[in-house]
């Protein structure tokens, strides 16, 4: 469903078996050799998610992408697995857009998890200017997702993102503010056996090398 020009909510894009396989992948990545962590952002506040960046690391102090986790443990960001890359490209194509992702931010939200309204604007200038979409995939408990305009004060719509849903925002919607106001406990499909929620957001930093 197109909810604004360039913004699409694809309900139940992933069947439960595919959600299960992706969930296993997310859990092993988050608890892997380069584990997820709770970033401290500028000003000293802690985020309300456990985060792991693949492909490039997003530094919560500088708000820039970099190869290693200079704001945490200096470990190199794990590479972005090809099957995750392919999934994100497939979702973008389903919305009539093109994405060759080189970054994925994997977030785990417990029942207290949330994320304030923000724009995704730290990717390469050419990629943003071209409106290359951000593709998001949700697994586990439902999230109340906020989607606003390109100015912080613009009205905000609340959408419930359920397990298996994809959300895509590109073109004129690429710089819309968005966030997660709450997680709805015990709403994950029982077959997943998960408490809380994973979200993967795929982005393309490099467009023709910039
Ligand atoms: O969890 C979500 O649905 C949104 C995540 C997000 O906004 C981000 O990673 O920038």
> With b meaning 16 or more CB within 10 Å and e meaning fewer, what string describes 124-144?
beebbebebbbbbbbbbbbbe
| CA within 13 Å, CB half, 60 | 21
Q: What confidence tens digit (pLDDT) does each residue in 175-206 have?
A: 999 999 999 999 999 999 999 999 999 999 99
66: three-class secondary structure by DSSP = strand
Contact 199, 166 (CB under 8 A): no
| Torsion angle (degrees, nearest 10) of CA 88, 191, 38, 61 | 20
**Residue-level pLDDT at 47:** 98
| Nearest atom (ligand 1) to Cα of 109 | 1
Q: 178 versus 1: which is more confidently predicted?
A: 178
Q: How far is the CA of 209 from the centre of ligand 1 (A)?
A: 25
CATH architecture designation of domain 2-189: Sandwich (2.60)
Cα dihedral sign, 174-83-206-77? positive
pLDDT (tens digit, 9 = 90+) per residue, 39-92?
Answer: 999 999 999 999 999 999 999 999 999 999 999 999 999 999 999 999 999 999
Cβ of residue 145 lying under 6 Å from some atom of ligand 1: yes
Minimum CA distance residue for ligand 1 atom 6? 179
Q: Which burial class, exposed, middle or buried, applies to 5 when counting CB atoms under 10 A from its CB (0-12, 13-18, 19+)?
A: exposed
Atom of ligand 1 nearest to the CA of 138: 3
Q: Does residue 139's CB lie within 6 angstroms of at least one atom of ligand 1?
A: no
120 lines ligand 1 (CB under 6 A): yes
Q: Is the CB of 103 under 6 A from ligand 1?
A: no
pLDDT of residue 24: 97
Query: Helix 82-94 to helix 16-30 angle, to the nearest 10 degrees?
Result: 140
Q: Whose CA is nearest to atom 8 of ligand 1?
A: 201
Substitution candidate for ligand 1 out of 53, 136, 181 with most atoms within 8 A of CB? 136
pLDDT at 170: 98
The answer, yes or no, to whether any atom of ligand 1 lies below 6 A from the CB of 199, is yes
Tell me what pLDDT residue 208 has.
74
On the question of pLDDT at 209 being above 70, the answer is no
Q: Render pLDDT for 136-162 as a digit per residue (tens, 0 to 9).
A: 999 999 999 999 999 999 999 999 999
Q: How far is CA 105 from CA 45, 51, 154, in A?
A: 19, 7, 26
Ligand 1 atom closest to the Cα of residue 105 is 9
Distance from first CA to last CA of the chain, Å, rounded? Answer: 31
What does the pLDDT read at residue 210?
A: 55
- At 95-123, the pLDDT tens digits run 999 999 999 999 999 999 999 999 999 99
Q: What confidence score (pLDDT) does residue 81 get?
A: 97
Long-range contacts of 42-47 (CB under 8 A, 24+ apart): 47/115
For 33-40, what is the mean pLDDT?
A: 98
């Amino acid at each position: 469903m197109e909810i604004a020009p360039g913004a699409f909510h694809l309900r139940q894009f992933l069947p439960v078996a595919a959600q299960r396989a992706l969930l296993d992948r997310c859990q092993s990545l988050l608890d892997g050799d380069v584990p997820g962590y709770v970033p401290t952002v500028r000003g000293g506040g802690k985020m309300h998610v456990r985060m792991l960046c693949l492909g490039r690391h997003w530094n919560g102090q500088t708000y820039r992408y970099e190869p290693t986790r200079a704001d945490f443990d200096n470990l190199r960001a794990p590479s972005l697995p090809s099957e995750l890359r392919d999934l994100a490209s497939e979702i973008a194509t389903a919305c009539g857009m093109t994405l060759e992702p080189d970054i994925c931010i994997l977030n785990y939200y417990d029942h207290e998890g949330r994320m304030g309204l923000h724009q995704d604007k730290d990717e390469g200038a050419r990629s943003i200017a071209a409106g290359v979409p951000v593709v998001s995939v949700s697994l586990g408990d439902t999230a109340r997702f906020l989607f606003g305009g390109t100015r912080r004060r613009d009205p905000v719509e609340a959408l419930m993102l359920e397990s298996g849903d994809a959300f895509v925002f590109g073109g004129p919607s690429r710089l819309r503010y968005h966030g997660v106001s709450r997680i709805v406990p015990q709403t994950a499909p029982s077959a997943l056996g998960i408490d809380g929620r994973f979200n993967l957001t795929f982005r393309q930093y490099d467009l023709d090398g910039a």
